[in-house]
Amino acid sequence: MTSRDAETSVPIHPLLAARWSPRALDPDGKVTDEQLRAVLEAARWAPSHGNTQPARFLVGRRGDATHERIFDLLSKRNKGWAHPAAVLILACAAMENEKGAVPMPEYGVGLAAENLVLQAVAEGLVAHQMGGFNKEGAKLVFSLPLDVEPQVVIALGTLGSPDLLDEERRAKELAPRRRKPLSEIAFTGEWGNPAF
């Protein structure tokens, strides 16, 4: 596959430009212990409100019971492509700590997940984050504490051929990457007045 680097209005860090969310995962692809530890370590060092560190992770490797249980929680659409993932990670938010309610826990998990994904790119891996899964089922299947909320499932692995996908997913995989222009998302002075 040719480069999928983002087309940006100005140069950005190559790690950021290279990050995307493929669905074509190599069914034989491996994630080493060192790579897995590195992505989780990157997540651990994400910023959080008051250093509350709300992110928690359940990690399943292809072939183990945790991977199977996370996979079973996925929506039908996500099950259609995520089965070859070398690793499935359920990211959760600890909503409380010894001081009470954790401020902005979902935001903290989002920051940790982005650190994890960017480290995956640095490791030569790919990652795809999914909101389509049974959150209530995850609470039961993994006996999550009452103050822990499932947030996202991350498929981690190595890039596979788009030919592994059905026609609809293959078309999405090969389509040009798109983002709204800066003029639609960054404002100054008043809402809607483009900063660039």
pLDDT in tens, 50-64: 999 999 999 999 999
Strand ranges in 54-164 using DSSP code E only, listed in sequence order: 55-61, 87-94, 96-97, 100-101, 126-130, 148-157
Per the model's pLDDT, the better-predicted residue between 3 and 67 turns out to be 67
Give the number of other CB atoms < 10 A from CB of residue 75.
14
Question: Considering the domain boundaries, does residue 175 fall inside one?
Answer: no
Q: SS3 of 85, please?
A: coil
For residue 51, what are the domain limits? Answer: 25-162
In a domain, 188, yes or no: no
Residue 187 pLDDT greater than 90, yes or no: yes
Q: For residue 3, is pLDDT > 90?
A: no
CATH code where residue 94 lies: 3.40.109.10
Q: Is residue 170 in a domain?
A: no
Over residues 39-55, the mean pLDDT reads 97
Question: Is residue 134 domain-resident?
Answer: yes
Q: Quote the number of domains for the chain.
A: 1
Is 1's pLDDT higher than 70? no
Residue 187 counted as domain residue? no
pTM: 0.95
| Cβ–Cβ under 8 Å, residues 89 and 66 | no
Residue 136: inside a domain, yes or no?
Answer: yes
Q: Is the pLDDT of residue 44 over 80?
A: yes
Average pLDDT over residues 13-19: 96
Distance CA 72, CA 113 (A): 21
**What mean pLDDT is reported for the chain?**
96
Dump pLDDT digits (tens) for 120-178: 999 999 999 999 999 999 999 999 999 999 999 999 999 999 999 999 999 999 999 99
Q: Is residue 36 part of a domain?
A: yes
- 168 part of a folded domain: no
Q: What is the pLDDT of residue 107?
A: 97
pLDDT of residue 2: 52
